[in-house]
Every structure is written in structure tokens, then in C-alpha cells.
Amino acid sequence: MKLTKAQEEKFTKLNISSWAELTLITPNAYEDLRLSDKLIPHTNQLIDATVESVYRAPNTIQITFFAHNFGHAIQGVMFRPKPYMMHQFNVGDRNYFYGMIECKMGQCSISMPRKIITAGAITPKYKCKLRSDVMLRFVQANLTLEKLLEEGLDAKMAEEILKLHFPTMMLDLKEHDSQTLEALKYTELFVYMKLLASKKRSYKTFLKATNDYKAWAKTLPFTLTDKQVQTIEDIKKDLHKDTAAKRMIVGDVGSGKTMVILASALMMLRGKSILMAPTTILANQLFEEVQKFLPNMKSVLVTNKTKKIPLDAYDFIIGTHALLYRDLPKVGLVMVDEQHRFGTQQRNMLNKLVSNGDAKPHFLQFSATPIPRTLAMIETAHIDVSLITTTPFKKDITTTVIHKQDFKELIVHIKDEIDKGNQILLVYPLVEKSEVLEYQSIDEARGYWEAKFDNVYVTHGKDKEKEQVLLDFSQRGNVLIATTVVEVGISLPKLSTVVIVGAERLGLSTLHQLRGRVSRTGLKGFCYLYTNQERSSRLEEFCKTSSGFDIANMDLKYRKSGDLLRGTIQSGSQFKWIDLAEDEEIVAKVKKDLLLQ
């Protein structure tokens, strides 16, 4: 797309990069500058008039017009006029004037009449970084169907959206008709996904994989699910290419992402693999799984407590962010678990660590936070995405909304579960007392639980010892009191019950992650959502749903949020027209038209 210097300046001011994006700066109003011989009260209208007299009062200008299109005189009035306004009205001059028409007791008036140079069309008004008249001239001089088609916009959509800028009749801007709305949604998504695709870069890889995973999969004491196999096949294709893979694997809690990680490292065995996890506990768990299911692979665990040893001798290096401060060998595959939990600085360090000029290792990132299907489809413009939407076994978890009057029954349930040798998790919204929140904090509640039960452990996000507390609790605890710090990660095989206090304050995806802590090993699980709200249709709907991907869609519907995989958009979508909870068909069409299938 070639732009003139003047066009470039306008693009910069409007913060746009294409003609399609210009169409999305839609008019905020229209002026009907067509001449009519029918006078319509309470409406802005154009008159073809001769100025018969002008009278200047202290705060007004009063003008008598003869309106030729109506065939009679009409009174004009300007309130608090500026000096330059006087020059618009010269007795004897015939011009077009535009203003609000009113009729009272047989007298007609036009308030705040404005001289119009060009008449005969419906004229859009714009609210943007350019003055409305400058924007109008820019649009009229440049925005054409041909330019939009050159950018790849669908012809039908382009024609529809141009009607907003070149109207042939007055349009309702408060409520667009379905065709116009579809065109706006399509164009908005087209612009966004095209921009994402332009940022997708290809790099040569250090190493192509040659190994297969199928013989190993047959040795496992369980069968991989279809979705696990499909994801591993996606990765296998990636690792066999000359270009470095960049893939996001999104799987629900307990969907078996660990086996996908192990299969990936196995396929890469001609070279080395690194896996970085956000916590020592997670890194430890993954290391134990590697030793159990890949006993012949030379693997090592690296945490802050690990002595500095040469890492060249190992095929699979598993660790926390401590890896960023070690001398790492050249690796063919880098995997990151829960990448969004690492800071920007850490992610940048990792990128530098794995890059070597133009060549890069294959890069896989894993997330246990399911995302809406529409979001996954959009993200494919930027990064390859695999969704693991099933779990190896169905969890048996009963989810219930409870209130103050149910507390006695809850205590009985907790005692029963502890007697069975099971563990309880209590999630509180805050660590310290709050004047604003109507729920107890951890500090206020812990005394009650510590008096009532043995082996009560407490931790939260600011607790430097939280990983050790979680470890001690997993081995010896009955009750764990925590904030949402336990949302992701640790495996607690004996955890049967989670109680979430002030559940209505949390997003459904967070509730699902917390619920996912229980019933990890087929144990009968219970999730109690404690709320002071009498009724919550959102929580009630959550109780009926166990799929993280369905819940992500529900979250989207309730919160209108669109967190594009890495937290770039929080609550309140960055999209003006697209509704990610409803518009999957439009997403699919844009994806097809951009050849991103």
C-alpha cells in the first residue's frame, strides 16, 4: 500500500495502518443537506433562502429569511453569536442555510442557522483526531471499494461498510441493521487478525526432530486420549520442520499436558530440551514424572537450591526461573509451563537465552487456563494453538452454592472428610481485614479453624515460604487456608474439598482452576461456593458445568472480557463490535479469507 505524504500524516494522526481500519472510524451523526419542500418541525433542515433583514440584539442575531423551498418567510435566530457569524448574513444574498426548524402558533423559526457551501447530500459527521470537515474530505477523496478489495476485504462486507460513509438515506447510528453490524464485526476482526499475522515471523531452527513417540506411548500404563494424540501429532509436525515452532498448548486442569510435554522431549531426543515452570513444586512434580515415564532419558532438576553443575550432559533440563541464571547448553526445544506467570523481564531473558542470531529452538508454551474457542481461532493468526478439551478420566466433583445458614452442615462435612483421611482447602478473598469487604480475611478466620481442627496450614501470595507450606500441608495437613495462590499447579492427591469464600467476586475461570485442585486422583470431590448474595445465576450456571472451555465461554459472556492468551486485554474487550462469546462464525470466515486455516 503506497501512501502520499499527506495520507501518511492523516494515518499517523488517526493511529491507523490501513484503509480498512479507516472504515471503522464510523460517523457519529449525519446532516441531511438535501433540499425538501416539506417543512418538518423539530428537525434539522436545509433551506434555500434569501436574507431579507438582520437585527442585532445584545445576546442574539435575528434574521428574516424567505425560504424559497417552502415558499414563505421564516425567522432565524442565533444565540450568543460570535463576531464572525454576522458575516454569514448579508441582506439580499441567497444561500443555503441549515438549522433546527420549529413551528409555534403558525410562526416558523430556524435556530442557529449555518451557511452551507455544498448541498444535495447526506453528510457524515465524525468525532476523531481530525476535525470533522477535514475527516469528511479525507474519507470522500480516498475511501474506495477498490482500495478495500486490494487489502483483501470481502467485497460484500466492503460495500456494506462503505454505506456508512457514503449514505443514500438517513441511517440509525444507535442501532445498526444486521448486515451493517456483520460488516463492522467482520472488518474489525479482519484488521486485527491481519495485523497479528504481520507480526508472525519465521526463524530457522537449530535442529529438526527425527524421533517418534508411538512406541513409547504403547509402554504407558494408560492410553493417551484422542486430544492428547492430536496435540502430540501437531507438535511432531512442528518439530520436523526447518522453521522453529511457536505453539501454545491450552488444556484444562487434569487434561494430561504432562504427557504432551514428555512426548515432545522424547521426539526431540536427537537434541536437548528445556522446560521452565513457575514454581519449585511444579518443576519438582514434572521432574518426578520424567523419571517415572522416561527413565532412560538423562534428566536434571534446576532450582535455586541446586548446586551449579555442568548441564551439557543432560538431555532434558527441568527447572524454575533459576534456569535463567545458569550456563545453558544449546537446545532444540524450549517449553514453558504457565508462561503468563513469568514477568516480562524473565520472558525477555528466556528469549535471549534461546536465540542465536537468526536461528531459534522450537518453542512450546503450556497453559492450564482454558480459553474460549473464538479466542483460540483468532490467536492462530499470531501463534499456532492446540486445545486439549478432554480429560483422561471424568472427575466426580459436586459443586454447590452455600450461604451463612449452611455453615453448620459444612463443618460436619469437613469433619467427615478429615476422618476419612482427606484434606480441605479454604480460599479467602483477602489476607488482612478490610473495611469495604463483607467477608472475613485469612487473619480474622484462621483462629477459628486452628481452634477447631488439628494440622491447619496457612499461606498466601506474599508468603515467601508458600511453596514449603504447600509441601508440608500435602504431607501432613488437614486444612489449608489460602488465597488464590493455589489456583494453579500443585498436585494434592488427598484434597477432596475446596470452599471458596466470596465466590461471586472471582471470575468463573478462576473458580474452575480452584475447583480443579480437588479430585485429582479420582477421589470424590466437593466444591462449595460461599456467598452473601441471595441468588447468582452466574454461580448457579457454573455449578452445572465442568468443562473449562465451556466456562471460559461463560466468563466471556458475563464479563465481556477478552484476555488474548497473555493478559493483553482485561475486563472490557478491546473490540468495539465483535462479541467473542457469540461471533464464532464471523471469526471462522475472517480466518478463511485471510488464509489462516
- Report pTM: 0.73
Domains 34-116 and 397-545 equal at CATH topology level:
no
Query: The dihedral of CA 139, 140, 141, 144: what is its sign?
Result: positive
Question: What architecture is the 205-388 domain classified under in CATH?
Answer: 3-Layer(aba) Sandwich (3.40)
DSSP 454-495: SSEEE--TT-TTHHHHHHHHHHH-SEEEE-GGGSSS---TTE
The confidence score (pLDDT) of residue 570 equals 35
From 1.10.20.60, 3.40.605.10, 3.40.50.720, 3.40.50.300, which CATH number describes the 397-545 domain?
3.40.50.300
Outline where DSSP puts E strands in 57-144.
Answer: 60-67, 72-79, 94-104, 107-116, 122-125
Residue with cell 478420566: 393
Decide if 329 contacts 206 (C-beta within 8 A).
no
**Length of the chain measured in residues:** 597
Per-residue pLDDT of 53-95, as tens digits, reads 999 888 899 999 999 999 999 999 999 988 888 788 999 999 9
**First CA to last CA distance, the chain:** 25
Q: Which residues pair with 364 in a beta bridge?
A: 247, 335
CA distances to 53, 83, 118 from 50, rounded to whole Å, are 9, 21, 16
Instruction: Classify domain 34-116 at the CATH topology level.
Output: OB fold (Dihydrolipoamide Acetyltransferase, E2P) (2.40.50)
Q: Which three cell numbers stand for residue 41?
A: 418541525
Q: Which residues pair with 386 in a beta bridge?
A: 249
H-helix or E-strand spanning residue 513: helix 508-515
DSSP state of 298: -
Query: Contacts by 168-177 with C-beta closer than 8 Å and gap 24+?
Result: 168/122, 169/122, 170/30, 170/32, 170/122, 171/30, 173/26, 173/27, 173/28, 173/29, 173/30
Q: Checking DSSP bridges between strand 362-367 and strand 397-402, what pairing results, if any?
A: unpaired
Enumerate residues 6+ apart whose C-beta is below 8 A from 475.
none
pLDDT tens for the chain, 597 residues: list them: 788 999 999 999 999 999 999 999 999 999 999 999 889 899 999 999 999 999 988 889 999 999 999 999 999 999 998 888 878 899 999 999 999 999 888 789 999 999 998 888 999 999 999 999 899 999 999 999 999 999 999 999 999 999 999 998 888 888 888 999 999 999 999 999 888 888 777 888 878 888 899 999 999 999 999 999 999 999 999 999 888 888 999 988 778 899 999 999 999 998 899 999 988 888 998 999 999 999 999 999 999 888 888 888 999 999 998 888 888 888 899 999 876 677 777 767 776 766 666 788 899 999 887 877 778 788 877 788 888 988 877 788 999 999 999 999 999 999 999 999 999 999 998 888 877 788 888 889 899 999 999 999 998 877 778 778 888 898 899 999 998 866 555 678 899 999 999 999 888 888 988 898 888 777 899 999 999 998 888 899 999 988 888 888 887 777 654 444 333 333 334 688 888 778 888 988 998 888 765
Integer Cα distance of 325 and 46 in angstroms? 73
Phi-psi region of 42 (alpha: psi -120 to 50; beta: other; left: phi over 0): left
Q: Which residues pair with 102 in a beta bridge?
A: 109
| Domain residue spans of the chain | 5-27+131-175, 34-116, 205-388, 397-545
Q: Where are the alpha helices (DSSP H) in 97-154?
A: 132-142, 145-150
The confidence score (pLDDT) of residue 460 equals 83
Average pLDDT across the chain, whole number: 87
The confidence score (pLDDT) of residue 205 equals 87
Per-residue pLDDT of 491-507, as tens digits, reads 788 999 999 999 998 88
Integer Cα distance of 194 and 381 in angstroms? 7
Which residue, among 36, 76, 518, has the nearest Cα to 253 in the 3D structure? 518
